[in-house]
Each structure stands twice: as structure tokens, then as C-alpha cells.
Amino acid sequence: MTSVTGERLQKVLAQLGLGSRREAEAWIRAGRLTVNGRPAVLGMRVGSQDQVKLDGRTVRRTLAAAAAPVFLCHRSPGEPLLPARGAAATAEAVAVSIAERLPRRAGRRFISISPMPNVDGGLELLTADGAIAERLQRAVHAMEAEFSLRVRGELSETQQQAIRDGALDSGARVQVLDLEANGGEGSNRWYRLLAQGASGNQIRQLLERQAVTLARVLRTRLGTLELPRTLARSHWQQLTTEQLDSLTHAPRA
């Protein structure tokens, strides 16, 4: 008999980093999951004594008692954040991702929160806890994010005003809070951009639609988290409980 007071099966699997809740629901519909030898059904709850199997293999639930850690990573532009999958995984000389170098005790499959485009980098967040990932992803939409931009040439006043207006191709708008020159000379100029709830993809689109040639976009702050100057590229650090609480309970705009 399964538990009537435990967690929903899809939530447990997400917390273990095996996949998102939607993926777990798809596995249930496909008959890939069993609980105590019987096919799982949507809405089923499981307790600590229930035996869960995916494709006939027992799901280890050692992480269920405590949330998996969240890692703040300093990604270099172009460096893979997550392991390559599908056709990309079979290509020769695939670089080892940051996730593959994280401690094995932290989880089996990592989820990225609002990742930057592959060509860009800076501050990234990874966790194997699907529930925490969902909470963080929702919170990101209300967070201030700061970006360091390296562009070819100096931005004209017209370009700067258009960027501040925040219009995207879809007709939506990014709330740009600040844009200022931040050094550089010759063909390379740096700018600091502060936006509310903006993804890296939106920032790149925002500038490229003004015929700006972007050489690099780095995220340097996300909500209350700043990319530490002492954190070398390709390295990471685990968020403290205080940092995570501050991030997930940040006041909404």
C-alpha cells in the first residue's frame, strides 16, 4: 500500500534531480514508473518506505531527506554548463561541462536556472533539486540582474535610448533600469546594464536588434547574489542557507 501522507511522486523525483515534474508525469503516463511493484498513477503519493522504480531500476532516495545544494558557478563564455545530450554528445572532443565536475554527492542530474546563452557567461546557478530549481526560476522573473557588455565600438545616443526602451522582437519589453559606459578603448567598449527580470537571451536580443555587435555578455549579479571577484572562471561555490533564503525570498517588484 502506498502512502497517503507522503509527497507526490513527481515532486520526489524532481527533488532527486532525475527530471522535472512534467517529465516525471510523462514517465507515469508511459508506464515507466512503478511503486511497490505496481504501475504508478498521476497524483500518487509516496513515503520513505515505498519502493520506486524507473524502467525497472530502483530509484535511490538518499537526497530526499535533505535538499540538494545550489551552486553558484563562474562560467567562461562558450563553456558548457550541462552535459551534451543527443547528437551533440556523440561529437568528438566535447568539452567537459561544469555540471560534470560538481561533487557527485550533490546529485546525478543538474538543472540550470535561467542560463545564459552558450556564447556568453558569468554567474550561473545549478542544482539537482527540481523543487528548488522551480522556486528559483519563478523568483528570477522578479529579480534585478546586472550584465557586463563588451561591444564593438561606442554606442550612439540613439542606440542607448532604444536599449533603455527595452523593446523586443515579440513586442514585449524588458525593464531596463540603468545603462552606462564602463570603460574600454578603441574598438572594444564595456557597458554596465541593469534590468528587472531579464534573461541573458533577452539582453542579447535587445542589443542585437539595435545593430550592436556584441563581443561578450557576462552576468555579474542576479538578485542578491554577486559574482565573487575571487571566484575563478570554471569554478563554483555552494550557496549558504542564508544566501539561498535571501534569493528565494527577495521582495517582488
pLDDT band, very low/low/confident/very high, at 93 (cuts 50, 70, 90): low
Question: Strand pairing of 45-46 and 38-39?
Answer: unpaired
**pLDDT > 60? residue 110:** yes
Least confident of 41-55, 141-155, 165-179, 225-239: 41-55
Is it true that 7-58 and 144-222 share their CATH fold?
no
Question: Which one has a higher pLDDT value, 60 or 125?
Answer: 125
pLDDT band, very low/low/confident/very high, at 5 (cuts 50, 70, 90): low
For residue 109, count other CB atoms closer than 10 A to its CB: 13
Domain assignments of the chain as residue spans, ordered by start: 7-58, 70-140, 144-222
pLDDT band, very low/low/confident/very high, at 225 (cuts 50, 70, 90): very high
Contact 156, 148 (CB under 8 A): no
CATH class of 7-58: alpha beta
pLDDT band, very low/low/confident/very high, at 253 (cuts 50, 70, 90): very low
**pLDDT > 80? residue 161:** yes
pLDDT, mean of residues 167-171: 92
CATH of domain 144-222: 3.30.2350.10
> pLDDT value at position 210?
92
pLDDT tens for each residue of 23-34: 889 999 999 999
Least Cα distance to 72 among 148, 165, 153, 136 occurs for 136
> pLDDT value at position 251?
47
Report the C-alpha gap between 154 and 186 in whole angstroms.
9
